[in-house]
Amino acid sequence: MEPEHPQAERFCRKLTGDIDEGNDLYQEAILAALNKINTLRDHGSFRSWLYRIIINRYKNRFRSVWWRRHTELTDEIRTTTKGDDPTNRLNARRWIEIGFTALKPEERVMITLYEMESWSISELAELFGKPEGTVKAKLSRGRIKMRKTIEKHLKLTEQSKPKREAGYAFSQTKAQAE
């Protein structure tokens, strides 16, 4: 279990979008894994077995009304070092959060594992028990959903900006000068 510890913990944090929630999810999954360790038939498939437990725990949280109220990402990054400008990471995190709102939990898990954790298509196919072509299609559809949601958000943001009248700033400046 030791070699998988840092990667699985990081995956939980990315999946939930919050360090504390990710740690809670990871601890729940580890406890469940320890209680079910005797059900693991092939020690070579430990990684996919552990991630299946994490994914199931994550999905169970989405079924709970309490969890739905607590899934928003926070704006703070606790690992930011002094003098490090977190603006780009915060912006990227915000766009990922917006895109993730369009996804079902399974789609979010797939995209997180593939894009952020560098899992291969074959590893995902094994984990989800689906053909590689199906995994590729689900990843593609998930990306399209995220893209459309982000584009929609951008359009709404542009529409909500106040429109300036042509020449308003110039005429106001000219009037103040007189």
Q: How many domains does the chain have?
A: 2
Residue 178 included in any domain: no
Give me the pLDDT at residue 81, please: 43
d(CA 59, CA 67): 10
CATH (domain of 20): 1.10.1740
Give me the pLDDT at residue 40, please: 83
CATH (domain of 114): 1.10.10.10
Reading phi first (left if > 0) and then psi (alpha if -120 to 50, else beta), residue 112 is in: alpha
One-letter identity of residue 73: L
Contact in structure between 103 and 146 (CB atoms under 8 Å) = yes
* Structural domain boundaries enclosing 107: 85-162
Residue 171 included in any domain: no
d(CA 148, CA 145): 5
Which pLDDT tens digits describe the chain residue by residue (178 residues)? Answer: 567 788 899 888 888 888 888 899 999 999 998 888 888 888 788 888 899 899 888 888 766 544 444 444 444 444 444 455 567 777 777 888 888 889 998 899 999 889 888 889 999 999 999 999 999 999 999 999 999 998 898 888 777 766 655 555 544 544 455 5
Pair (63, 109) in one structural domain: no
Pair (71, 91) in one structural domain: no
Question: Could you count the other beta carbons within 10 Å of the beta carbon of residue 175?
Answer: 8
